Amino acid sequence: MKLYNFAMAPNPKRVAIFIAEKGVEIETIEVNIRAGEHKTPAFTAINPLQDLPLLQLDDGTHINQVNAICRYIDDVYPEPPLYGRTPEERAKVESWNHRVQMEGIGAVTDAFRNSSPNFVGRAIAGPHSYEQIPALAERGRLRIDNFMKDMNAHFADNQFVLGDYFSVVDITVFMSIEFATWVKKKIPEDCTHLQRWFDAMSARPSIKK
């Protein structure tokens, strides 16, 4: 297995943390997004979506999308299970992960890509060109505020997103909060439950790594 990676980018980081939580090593190949290496014909041939991360299996199969990659790794390395241990937990992981993908990662992506001068004409990742919409950046910032408030309320009564069970969703929330600093959004001072959870996450070996 090989992981095509761009170590500093938020979506590849989600997979890197997931792999570290599994305690395994997977060979990585850096593809520099800033240098446009993900747009070359060679990379496009293996990932027409021109985004990272991308997993290459030993038989040459390619798997894109963070969640598909993490699910595959969870199947191949089942311990510790990060996608739920029971049908109910698996459903809750799916539900929460979808929600956080939209309300966390999605909100920050909108705020960042619709405002950064580096993403003019590239407001959405992929092979098609999309112009920035400043109103979407503004709405993204509002959604980040609401996401942080909602997660703060959730963590008032929960150690992790799924109660006392650490799952892939905690990684998705963590990277949403980390990525939010790219648009200068920090956990508000009154979000003490979210801050407590974030500090505990930051102390995990997988994240320190």
Ligand X SMILES: N[C@@H](CCC(=O)N[C@@H](CS)C(=O)NCC(=O)O)C(=O)O
Say how far apart CA 67 and CA 80 lie, in whole Å: 16
Of 18, 21, 38, 103, the one binding ligand X by CB under 6 A: 38
The answer to whether 17 contacts ligand X (rule: CB under 6 A) is: no
Nearer to ligand X by Cβ, of 89 and 106: the residue is: 106
Nearer to ligand X by Cβ, of 102 and 153: the residue is: 102
Residues touching ligand X, count (CB under 6 A):
11
**Hey, which residues does 163 pair with through a beta bridge?**
160
Say how far apart CA 166 and CA 74 lie, in whole Å: 14
Of 66, 70, 144, 177, the one binding ligand X by CB under 6 A: 66
Q: Which residue is nearest to ligand X (CB)?
A: 51
Task: For the CB of residue 97, give the shortest distance to ligand X in the complex, in Å.
Answer: 11
The answer to whether 99 contacts ligand X (rule: CB under 6 A) is: no
The answer to whether 110 contacts ligand X (rule: CB under 6 A) is: no
Site residues (vs ligand X, CB under 6 A): 9-11, 33, 38, 51-52, 65-66, 122, 125
